[in-house]
Structure 1
Amino acid sequence: MKYIWILVVLLLSTAATARSACDSEIAREMERCAKSNYEEADTALNREYINLIKSLPNSDKFKLQEVQRYWVTYKTRYCKDTFSAKSPGNEAGIEMWSCLESATDSSSIRGF
């Protein structure tokens, strides 16, 4: 079973790197691209989370849900602080979405 998860993680990490390279010189386009990449990462993570929750006993489901709530709160606050640190610069939104994507990609749920 452990080897199956390793294979899944490798496949998902390959999918994560297949997102768009945000290489426009226009800040709004780069921000839209970064947001789109984050949304793709978040959707993939949510699918993994749902599949994992379905496979766990009830006692572990509760623990995972609690930890995930804390993690989402931390991720959101951390990345909003990144946005605030760059604001009002043109790159602020890009930095926030990139931060959210990176944090989502590195979620510990992928270690299960």
Structure 2
Amino acid sequence: MTATIAVRRRIVGAAAGLAAILLASIPALAADRCESMVQSDLNECARADYRTADAALNAVYVQLMKKVGPKTKEALRAAQKAWLSYRDATCALETMGLEGGSAYPMELSGCLKGLTDARTKALTAYLACKPDDVNCVGAFQE
């Protein structure tokens, strides 16, 4: 009975060790995929980069919405909705010639990321407004 318990403990310990090694290697695998010459890996890395940029944009947008007054919130919401339509239409246009090709997802994600990064920078600037700056969206407390 004691030998059986000892064997089980060794198996569980080995399994835990293997799991730890596998989990530790995930970031390395992700980095390797981004340096891959395989298009599907490049597509996934570009998609992940865009998702990161989109999350950053959403975080800044939420911060800004908390800072401004009700009238500005309404205007900001409308502007953001229009900007999202612009971004999506612009990237669809700019990648139109690649539709159906293996690099299309990578190029589309790259376009989306670039425009999203620019929008994040613009909204971040609004967060830095001084309260007495009558020309800065982030200062509108109405």
TM bin, normalised by shorter chain, reads 0.7 to 0.9
CA distance in structure 2 between the aligned counterparts of 1:77 and 1:106, rounded to whole angstroms: 16
Stretches of structure 1 that go unaligned for 5 or more consecutive residues are: 1-19
Amino acid corresponding to residue 66 of structure 2 in structure 1? K
Alignment of 1:18-57 (within 5 A): 22-57=34-69
Shift of residue 80, structure 1, vs aligned partner: 1.8
**Runs ≥4 residues deviating over 6 A:** none
The TM-score with structure 1 as length reference comes to 0.76
Identical pairs, percent: 27
CA distance in structure 2 between the aligned counterparts of 1:86 and 1:22, rounded to whole angstroms: 21
1:111 matched to 2:122: no
CA distance in structure 2 between the aligned counterparts of 1:97 and 1:30, rounded to whole angstroms: 10
Question: SS of 1:106's equivalent?
Answer: helix
Which of the numbers 56, 60, 74 marks the counterpart of 2:86?
A: 74
User: Does structure 2 conserve the Cα–Cα contact (< 8 Å) formed by 1:83 and 1:93?
Assistant: no
Q: Which has the higher contact order (CA 8 A, sep 6+)?
A: 1
Shift of residue 64, structure 1, vs aligned partner: 0.7
Shift of residue 38, structure 1, vs aligned partner: 0.3
Question: Which range is displaced more, 60-69 or 82-91?
Answer: 82-91
Question: Which range is displaced more, 82-91 or 70-79?
Answer: 82-91
Stretches of structure 2 that go unaligned for 5 or more consecutive residues are: 1-30, 127-142
Shift of residue 82, structure 1, vs aligned partner: 2.6
Alpha-carbon displacement from aligned partner over 1:18-56 (angstroms, at most 9, x marks no partner)? xx7943211111010000000000001101100100110
